[in-house]
């Protein structure tokens, strides 16, 4: 097996933002609604550089990463690499209702509607969570085909407490 690192590796970047509006109905009741987002770029992706290339006309050619030496195709069993080309996006709408009662009793109910999408399951994969454990892309030559829900994506979350 041969191991390669992209010479243009960049550190991962995470941008986060939120906007919240809160309204106080009474001295003891508040309601808050918020948008929360995150965008990650330059995430690490394990790359199967020996993967052959399938063209639109149905022909298959050796990996272009062999740099004009296709005889290596039969000599190597695997060329694994690392590139910082992954992306992630998280968007959510969050709502919270809080109420304080007499004698110190208080409660809260919160709801989150969210979506997380990515083309990188993490460098070491999701380790059998909600997605396959392989961090390698199915098609090295079509990054858009990897875009899908994050393995930890949960669309609806409802929580509450009373103290």
Q: What is the pLDDT of residues 83-115, one digit of tens each?
A: 888 899 999 999 999 999 888 899 999 999 999
How far is residue 67's CA from residue 62's CA, in Å, rounded to a whole number? 10
The pair of structure tokens assigned to 16 is: 């986060």
- SS3 call for 146: helix
- Average pLDDT of the chain to the nearest whole number: 84
Name the band, by pLDDT with cuts 50, 70 and 90, for residue 123. low
Q: Given this model, what pLDDT does residue 103 score?
A: 83
Distances (CA, A) of 98 to 21, 105, 112, 158: 14, 11, 15, 14
Domain count, the chain: 1
Tell me the torsion sign for CA atoms 68, 72, 74, 80: negative
Q: What is the pLDDT of residues 39-76, one digit of tens each?
A: 999 988 888 777 777 778 888 777 766 666 667 666 77
**Domain of residue 130, residue span:** 2-162
How far is residue 147's CA from residue 89's CA, in Å, rounded to a whole number? 10
Q: Given this model, what pLDDT does residue 113 score?
A: 98
Look up residue 10 and give its DSSP letter.
Answer: -
């Amino acid at each position: 097996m041969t191991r390669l690192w992209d010479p243009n590796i960049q550190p991962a970047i995470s941008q986060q933002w939120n906007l919240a509006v809160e309204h106080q109905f009474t001295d003891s009741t508040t309601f808050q609604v918020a948008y929360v987002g995150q965008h990650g770029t330059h995430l690490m992706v394990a790359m199967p550089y020996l993967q052959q290339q399938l063209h639109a006309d149905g022909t298959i050619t050796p990996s272009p990463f062999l740099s004009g030496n296709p005889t290596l195709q039969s000599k190597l069993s695997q060329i694994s690499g690392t590139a910082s080309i992954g992306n992630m996006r998280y968007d959510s709408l969050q709502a919270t209702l809080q109420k304080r009662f007499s004698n110190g009793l208080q409660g809260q109910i919160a709801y989150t509607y969210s979506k997380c999408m990515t083309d990188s399951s993490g460098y070491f994969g999701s380790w059998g969570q909600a997605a396959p454990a392989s961090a390698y892309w199915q098609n090295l030559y079509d990054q858009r085909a990897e875009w899908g829900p994050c393995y930890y994506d949960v669309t609806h979350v409802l929580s509450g407490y009373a103290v």
